């Protein structure tokens, strides 16, 4: 499907010869002389590299229609994560490399929105915070209430976060999925 550079929107995904890019920002420019043009900042969906591109006004580009599907994470199978489509109940095996950082926040039964393009997973939309159980950390010492003091804790997914001293193994905590930081005890 083609889209005119006049109709670009932030977040739109384009299928360019160099790969899949999402539009970060764009600006229509009408100089005094010559034709109008569109200045864009594009981000490679796979690598995260940012590209500055200038196009003629009304130039046609190939738009990639990204399918967002709500999936439930069922279980891990070696290096694969098995998801189930919550609408069709189809199961999908996903390599952990396709999930990127999101894999550290997923536990069995969790829902996530997978961004897909032609069978390839481009990204994962997670809730802003997830609840995970502390698998391992040094036990808190009674009376150890140093303000702001932190210790490392390994969570059930293998993610390690800095937590306050009062958090113990077996506690469930909320973690921010954007920064990977401890928020509060759940």
Going by C-alpha positions, the residue among 57, 27, 60 that lies closest to residue 42 is 27
Predicted local distance difference test score (pLDDT) of residue 141: 65
Rounded to an integer, what distance in angstroms lies between the CA atom of residue 130 and that of residue 82?
19
CATH fold of the domain at 129-185: OB fold (Dihydrolipoamide Acetyltransferase, E2P) (2.40.50)
Residue intervals in the chain for CATH 2.40.50.140: 67-125, 129-185
Residue range 42-62, pLDDT digits in tens = 999 888 899 999 999 999 999
The pair of structure tokens assigned to 79 is 């290096």
- pTM comes to 0.74
* C-beta of residue 39 within 8 angstroms of C-beta of residue 54: yes
CATH fold of the domain at 67-125: OB fold (Dihydrolipoamide Acetyltransferase, E2P) (2.40.50)
Cα dihedral: 108, 153, 180, 126 (round 10)? 10
Instruction: Classify domain 2-62 at the CATH class level.
Output: mainly beta
Q: Which residues contact 113 (CB under 8 A, 6 or more apart)?
A: 68, 69, 70, 71, 124, 125
Q: 39: number of CA atoms within 13 Å, CB side?
A: 4
Rounded to an integer, what distance in angstroms lies between the CA atom of residue 62 and that of residue 80?
31
- Mean pLDDT for all residues in the chain: 90
Residue range 87-107, pLDDT digits in tens = 999 999 998 888 888 999 999
The position carrying tokens 């303000």 is 147
Q: Which residues contact 179 (CB under 8 A, 6 or more apart)?
A: none
Q: Which residues contact 165 (CB under 8 A, 6 or more apart)?
A: 140, 141, 144, 145, 146, 149, 150, 151
Confidence of residue 112 (pLDDT cuts 50, 70, 90): very high
């Amino acid at each position: 499907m083609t889209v005119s550079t006049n109709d670009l929107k932030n977040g739109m995904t384009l299928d360019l010869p160099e790969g899949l890019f999402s539009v970060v920002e764009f600006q229509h420019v009408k100089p005094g002389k010559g034709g109008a043009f569109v200045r864009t900042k594009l981000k490679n969906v796979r690598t995260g590299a940012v590209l500055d591109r200038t196009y003629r006004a009304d130039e046609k580009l190939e738009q990639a229609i990204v399918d967002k599907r709500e999936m439930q994470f069922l279980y891990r199978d070696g290096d694969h994560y098995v998801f189930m489509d919550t609408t069709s109940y189809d199961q999908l095996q996903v390599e952990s490399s396709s999930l990127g950082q999101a894999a550290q926040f997923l536990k069995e039964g969790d829902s996530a929105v997978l961004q897909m393009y032609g069978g390839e997973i481009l990204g994962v939309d997670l809730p802003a915070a997830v609840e995970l159980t502390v698998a391992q950390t040094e036990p808190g010492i009674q009376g150890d209430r140093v303000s702001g003091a932190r210790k490392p804790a390994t969570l059930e997914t293998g993610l390690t976060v800095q937590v306050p001293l009062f958090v113990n193994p077996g506690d469930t905590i909320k973690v921010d999925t954007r920064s990977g930081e401890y928020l509060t005890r759940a």
